Chain A
Amino acid sequence: MSKDHIVRSYDQELDLLISKISEMGKVAEEQLAKAIEALITKDSRLAVNVIYSDAQVNDLQNTVDGLTVRMLAMRQPMGSDLRHIISALKIAADLERIADYAANIAKNVMDLDHVSLEKPVGLIIRMAELASHMLKDVIDAYRKSDVRKATAVWHRDEDINQVYADLISHLRSYMKADSDNINAYTSLIFAARCCERIGDHIKNVAESVYFITHGESSFENSLQKKQLA
């Protein structure tokens, strides 16, 4: 989108929207990083910090919602502007969920500090790190309207799913052998599930980036349409 709007304040509002989404992405990323850190160090104080600072992302989502409603009412956006504003609503909801999952991961840290579960925890950390990089890249792709990068991120979700599948099968065999620690294992399953869901929400964001540029709902949908035809 090379040209500016005739009404300059419209551009300012769109820029503000993009910066708020970027900020949300950054905060969600920090939350996730702190959750990983808490997992690694088994630091329950840091975990509590993650749980409490989730409110920050919720506030940002409210700001984005207010801004989009206002722009829809006052600008009557069309074409790519319309797609941008609608997508901002969806991306904000996805980022809010991602931060929630980071908080959920942190909640599970407390159950893990008394057992030695190096290998499965390692796999969860691996998933969370993959998610963290994807999140950074997808927000970057959003800011630069870089569809190519967004598409690349979209495909990387498969990596998280792979680790998730491995982890679950490991955990199954551990649980059979070591039923005394079943609470810790279920916490691990929850945490792994959170990472896996984070990957799905990042994928949604990537699809929104695609939609903003191309006006089609997602590459997955267009692929499915082609396959059905």
Chain B
Amino acid sequence: MISLREMDEAGFIGTMPEETIQAKLKQEVSRVLVSRENRKTVGKITVDNPRMTCRNVDVWYGDKQAIKNVSLDIGRNEVLAMIGPSGCGKSTFIRCLNRMNDTIDGCRIAGEVKLDGVDIYGKNIDVVPLRAQVGMVFQKPNPFPKSIYENIAYGPRIHGLSANKAELDEIVERSLIKAGLWDEVKDWLDQPGTGLSGGQQQRLCIARTIAVNPEVILMDEPCSALDPIATAVIEDLIDELREQYTIVIVTHSMQQASRVSQRTAYFHLGDLIEVGPTAQIFTNPSHQLTEDYITGRFG
């Protein structure tokens, strides 16, 4: 909205009714895109009753800082999409959420990441159960070179989630049903998981993640190796899984982010630039860098 002064200069204040002027005076300054140079996070980073909270997270690979002071909440039963150009830190950030970065030499992490109020980088935290609670699905489907049944049963067995074979059978069936794969594989459970199609393999990996009762499922570009039909099946599945789990998805497809998520976070060169409701981010972002990226002007 132009200012009253500008209106006056243009010669229109005089003809405006008094109540309109009063309303205009009360009106907030309208949306002005935050400049490209400003790198402070724009938007609301907090949610009510969060599942995970991240505060002032820094990540270095050797001397190179990959994540710079990122603070962000992840809500319950929401799909949070992370978007941004390659090398922006979104995959690095998602890997902080279940300490997947621990395995990388020279990787240092500062700040605080909490799951249900507990610091996952605390001294007494065992990463094995943590990674069950915060499961992960990768870009390329990576089933074990074992039977479909064993792919699912492996996790519950090592985590001691079943007392006997009957219980284990039930977990396998339930997980495959939730992953929308049961009808397609129920007669072939003893066949190798690697014999399935790409989309089926990815759903098998999701079933494997679900089998160990996670709270959060991290997905790092889960559909980038899949065709549009298999992608649609996974996206539909994500929508269903949201009722029970919190999902954080990294994706290079903005259309996918806009379809599956409720909140979207935009990363750029290690900074969290903007976070907000997905519809707002894609129709009316507040930061110029977000606008550049979603409209294809990045570069």
Do the beta carbons of B30 and A214 come within 8 Å of each other?
Answer: yes
The residue that B282 contacts in the complex, of A78, A156, A216, with Cβ under 8 A, is A78
User: How many positions in chain A have a CB within 8 Å of any CB in the partner chain?
Assistant: 33
CA distance A80 to B16 in the complex (A): 30
B166 part of interface (Cβ distance < 8 Å) = no
A45 part of interface (Cβ distance < 8 Å) = no
Contacts of A7 in B (CB 8 A): 296
Contacts of B1 in A (CB 8 A): 147, 151, 210, 214, 219, 222
Contacts of B255 in A (CB 8 A): 76
B123 part of interface (Cβ distance < 8 Å) = no
Q: Chain A: which residue is nearest B24 at the CB level?
A: A223
Give A138 Cβ to nearest chain B Cβ, in Å.
14
Do the beta carbons of A81 and B26 come within 8 Å of each other?
Answer: no
Do the beta carbons of A152 and B12 come within 8 Å of each other?
Answer: yes
- B105-113, B171-179, B287-295: which lies at the interface: B287-295
Known: A10-B296, A215-B31. A83 touches B283 (CB 8 A): yes
Binary interface profile of A, 212-227, with partner B (CB < 8 Å = 1, else 0)?
0011100100110011
Do the beta carbons of A6 and B2 come within 8 Å of each other?
Answer: no
A4 part of interface (Cβ distance < 8 Å) = yes
CA distance A35 to B57 in the complex (A): 67
Give A88 Cβ to nearest chain B Cβ, in Å.
15
Give B193 Cβ to nearest chain A Cβ, in Å.
34
Contacts of B229 in A (CB 8 A): none
Residues in A lying within 8 Å of B, measured CB to CB: 1, 3-7, 10, 76-83, 147-149, 151-152, 155-156, 158-159, 210, 214-216, 219, 222-223, 226-227
Give the top 3 A-B pairs by smallest Cβ distance, nearest first.
Answer: A215-B284, A78-B294, A3-B297
Residues in B lying within 8 Å of A, measured CB to CB: 1-2, 6-7, 10-12, 15-16, 20, 23-24, 26-27, 30-31, 254-255, 258, 282-285, 290-292, 294-299
28 example contacts (A-B, Cβ-Cβ < 8 A) are as follows: A3-B297, A5-B297, A6-B296, A6-B297, A7-B296, A76-B255, A78-B295, A79-B282, A79-B284, A80-B291, A82-B282, A83-B284, A148-B6, A149-B10, A151-B7, A151-B10, A151-B12, A155-B7, A158-B15, A215-B284, A216-B30, A216-B31, A222-B1, A223-B24, A226-B23, A226-B26, A226-B27, A227-B23
12 extra A-B contacts, CB within 8 A, seeds A6-B299, A148-B10: A3-B297, A3-B299, A4-B297, A5-B296, A6-B297, A76-B254, A79-B290, A79-B295, A147-B2, A215-B284, A216-B30, A222-B1
